[in-house]
Homo-oligomer: A and B are copies of this chain.
Amino acid sequence: MSTLKPLAPDTLDKLRYASTATITMQLLKRGLRHGAIKGARPLDPAHARCVGPAYTLRFIPMREDLAGPPKPGTMLPHRMAVEHAPAGSVLVIDAGGAANCGTLGDILVARLKHRGVAGVVSDGPLRDLAGVVSVGFPVLSVGSVAPASMNEVMPIDVDLPIGCGGVAVFPGDVISTDMDGAVVIPRHLADEVARDSYEQERLEKFVLSEVKRGRSIDGLYPPDDKAMADYRQWQARGEGN
């Protein structure tokens, strides 16, 4: 990921401020309708949020002569990914169609946390749900199941472009997650999407507070000039920070 354009210093912080719903609206304004990974939801609502550049891992369907219980001394690609995903990155997994096996379990998730990785997103299940929750780490997946990955898939490579939940993910694309799931922001758009998502999020905080006070959405959402003036006053009063 060394040749990627550097991100602006506050890009990750601004994305942390915004919801994934807001980010997808900014992607839509740029013509991108396919940024939300289908199926991945937080395994633990207490650890739903993470933001960081993508490090990718790809599985393909298993073949019985190549997939069995792990043996000492071997280092399969998913274990390498766990050791090599950079601190701050989000490990994004193309689960290879896995529906009834978990590509990672509690031990590998604990290792990721210790290494400073920001989170995990997969379009298949994980396993050891109780153990994963005990670790306390952002994991978004299609639920959890008991069987290990080699029941159904095998890891094949890392750091390549992948498809995850119907979305293209290139290494270095920026991932943001919350209770609504995970979104993928193309690297070259990350700074501007972060900037505009932050602004939109602030505005919507104002709108939501107004609606809760009883104001109609007519003229407010989306805002007309009067609503924008009110918003600027609201900002000037230091609200919404």
> A residues near B, CB below 8 A?
19-21, 23-25, 28-36, 38, 41, 59-66, 68-75, 79, 82-83, 96-97, 99-100, 102, 105-108, 110-111, 114, 127-131, 135, 143-148, 150-154, 156-157, 160-163, 166-168, 178-181, 183, 186, 189, 204, 207-208, 211-212, 214, 216-219, 221-224
Contacts and interface: CB of A to CB of B under 8 A. Distances in A.
A61 B33 CA distance: 12
Given A73-B224, A131-B208, A179-B144, A163 B21 contact: no
A66 B145 contact: no
A130 B42 CA distance: 12
Contacts of A63: 32, 34, 167-168, 186
Given A28-B151, A65-B186, A146 B82 contact: no
B217 A166 contact: no
A163 B97 CA distance: 9
Contact of A154 (B33, B65, B168, B212): B168
Nearest to A26: B69
Q: Which 5 A-B pairs have the closest CB atoms?
A: A20-B146, A60-B163, A146-B180, A129-B179, A24-B147
B148 A21 contact: yes
Given A28-B69, A180-B129, A146 B21 contact: yes
A110 B69 contact: no
28 contacts: A19-B128, A19-B130, A19-B131, A20-B146, A21-B102, A21-B131, A32-B64, A33-B151, A34-B62, A38-B99, A60-B168, A61-B163, A61-B167, A62-B168, A79-B217, A82-B217, A83-B218, A96-B163, A97-B163, A97-B166, A107-B204, A107-B207, A110-B208, A111-B217, A145-B181, A146-B178, A146-B181, A153-B163
B71 A146 contact: no
Contacts of A163: 59-61, 96-97, 153
A161 B77 CA distance: 14
B221 A107 contact: yes
A92 to B, nearest CB: 12
A26 to B, nearest CB: 9
Contact of A146 (B23, B30, B145, B208): B23
